[in-house]
Structure 1
């Protein structure tokens, strides 16, 4: 079974990572390593001075994953270097609450976590849903699983991450995927 690391910048208790976890584990072995608290807009920051602490997290009486008192990039780096003993096939960061587009991508902990995975040699994608109000994360999670499967099967060009932004519509209304370049708008 293919192994997928998931993380985010909204924190381990965020609904988006929970929905992503349950969708991806239908097809993959999933390891969760995420920030203990919200880390939105931290960009690609890493922790240099303070020690990183790891905490096991249960949800509904079951082991869910590990929380780290650091940034999303810290989570990916620590997971790949120290926690996960077997090679990973993919890193998925998300599901972020709100789209990551234009110049805001630079500030995104979600996108930066995927970038860190790519820098460490693991194909990586960031997934965001284009809403802040009452999101249904399930369509974005289904899209994430589709794209995860494609990336694992076909790979990505070297030094390339995918930043996937999913509209806040029912899954059946999503008409397909388009690859674009990052915009510069704010």
Structure 2
């Protein structure tokens, strides 16, 4: 099994180091990650400036770009082989509910999925890497189980996994979940720069709105590992009938 690891916290982050250490003896593992923190970069690709790849003293390779950049260039020319699995993380904080839309961790995994490779995004629920080794062991357990069950050799899939910050023996079972939902983000933070210019900081994520049973928010709050299968198709299938009628009228609307 060959695994490509990336993340959005940067190649020096504790989460990616722990993930590499947990997987390196069950697969051939390559790490290609951003040089700097790229949280909330989603699926962004760098199109108007060159990308450079360097190798760190620990053997990891790092790129002056986004998480999606790292996976994209790895799969389109940097690697001389095709990985069996793309793994992203372990992220410093949760990626649940609406967070997945913005997440660079999910973006890196999704880039692998777009190339037809199974992919997993791993995150810890709370920040600051508390009980990180437990999360790494859970990630290893999941990857190993999938390999043994030959799930990795099937059609591509994309999983979003959130692991509670608990000692290993206190982490509950794995639960299949849907994404929860947050309220709208908090207001933008407005400040004045030392030069007298107005500057803005994006506000904090909104509080949880949907944490009902069956959601990722609910499962992790109960101490369970939340696994959510994701898809890329953004089509509003449920309302295609409505829009078919609406669009059909466009050509008959007087100008």
Instruction: State the TM-score, normalized to the length of structure 1.
Output: 0.92
Q: Specify the SS of the correspondent of 1:4.
A: strand
Deviations 1:55-74 (A, max 9, x none): 01113xxx2x1100010000
Deviations 1:93-140 (A, max 9, x none): 000000100111111000111111100111000000011135231111
Corresponding position of 1:82: 77
- Report the CA distance between 1:86 and its aligned residue: 1.9
**Closer/same/farther in 2, CA of residues 96 and 134 from structure 1, 3 Å limit:** closer
Q: How does 1:107-118 map to 2 (within 5 A)?
A: 107-118=102-113
- Report the CA distance between 1:148 and its aligned residue: 1.4
Corresponding position of 1:30: 29
Unpaired runs of at least 5, structure 1: none
- Report the CA distance between 1:147 and its aligned residue: 1.6
- Report the CA distance between 1:6 and its aligned residue: 0.3
Check whether the contact 2:67–2:104 (CA below 8 A) recurs between aligned residues.
yes
Corresponding position of 2:43: 44
Check whether the contact 1:93–1:126 (CA below 8 A) recurs between aligned residues.
yes
Instruction: State the TM-score, normalized to the length of structure 2.
Output: 0.68
Check whether the contact 2:8–2:37 (CA below 8 A) recurs between aligned residues.
yes
- Report the CA distance between 1:150 and its aligned residue: 3.0
CA distance in 1, matches of 2:151, 2:92: 28
- Report the CA distance between 1:87 and its aligned residue: 2.1
Unpaired runs of at least 5, structure 2: 183-205, 207-255
**Closer/same/farther in 2, CA of residues 134 and 56 from structure 1, 3 Å limit:** closer
Corresponding position of 2:180: 183
- Report the CA distance between 1:158 and its aligned residue: 4.5
CA distance in 2, matches of 1:80, 1:129: 26
Deviations 1:11-54 (A, max 9, x none): 00101001111110021111000000000011111100101100
| Higher gyration radius (CA) | 2
Q: Specify the SS of the correspondent of 2:122.
A: strand
- Report the CA distance between 1:184 and its aligned residue: 2.1
Q: Specify the SS of the correspondent of 1:67.
A: strand
- Report the CA distance between 1:154 and its aligned residue: 1.6
Check whether the contact 1:90–1:148 (CA below 8 A) recurs between aligned residues.
no
Check whether the contact 1:72–1:109 (CA below 8 A) recurs between aligned residues.
yes
User: Which structure carries more relative contact order (alpha carbon 8 Å, separation 6+)?
Assistant: 1
Check whether the contact 1:123–1:151 (CA below 8 A) recurs between aligned residues.
no
The two structures, once aligned, show a CA RMSD in angstroms of 1.5
**Closer/same/farther in 2, CA of residues 130 and 85 from structure 1, 3 Å limit:** same
Tell me if 1:164 matches 2:161. yes
- Report the CA distance between 1:85 and its aligned residue: 1.2
Check whether the contact 2:3–2:27 (CA below 8 A) recurs between aligned residues.
yes
Q: Specify the SS of the correspondent of 2:26.
A: coil
